[in-house]
Amino acid sequence: MGKTLIVQARGRGGPRYRTPSHRFLGRVQYFPYGSFTAKVVDIMNDPGHFAPVMLVRDPNGREILHIAPEGIQAGDYIHYGQYSGIGSVVELSKVPIGTKISCIETYPGSGPKLCRSSGSFATVIGASGNKVTIQFATGREKTLDGRCRVMIGVPAGGGRLEKPWIKAGKRLHAMMARGKLYPRTVGVAMNPVDHPYGGKKKSAKFKTISRFAPPGRKIGSISARKTGKRK
What is the tens place of the pLDDT at every residue in 2-16? 677 777 777 777 777
Percent of the chain with pLDDT over 90: 56
Can you list the positions of beta strands (E) in the chain?
36-44, 53-57, 63-67, 77-80, 89-91, 100-102, 122-128, 131-136, 141-145, 149-152, 208-209, 221-222
Contact yes or no for 116/102 (Cβ under 8 A) = yes
Same domain, 61 and 116: yes
Same domain, 8 and 91: no
The model's pLDDT over 30-66, given as tens digits with 9 standing for 90+, comes to 999 999 999 999 999 998 898 999 999 999 999 999 9
Same domain, 207 and 150: no
Same domain, 129 and 190: no
The model's pLDDT over 204-231, given as tens digits with 9 standing for 90+, comes to 567 788 889 887 788 888 888 877 766 6
Total domains present in the chain: 2
The whole-number pLDDT of residue 2 equals 61
Contact yes or no for 72/154 (Cβ under 8 A) = no
Structural domain range at position 26: 21-160
Q: What is the pTM of this model?
A: 0.77
Is residue 41 situated within a structural domain?
yes
- Is the pLDDT at 1 greater than 60? The verdict is no
Same domain, 5 and 42: no
Is residue 228 situated within a structural domain?
no
Residue 28 carries which DSSP code? B
The model's pLDDT over 129-156, given as tens digits with 9 standing for 90+, comes to 899 999 999 999 999 999 999 999 999 9
The whole-number pLDDT of residue 101 equals 95
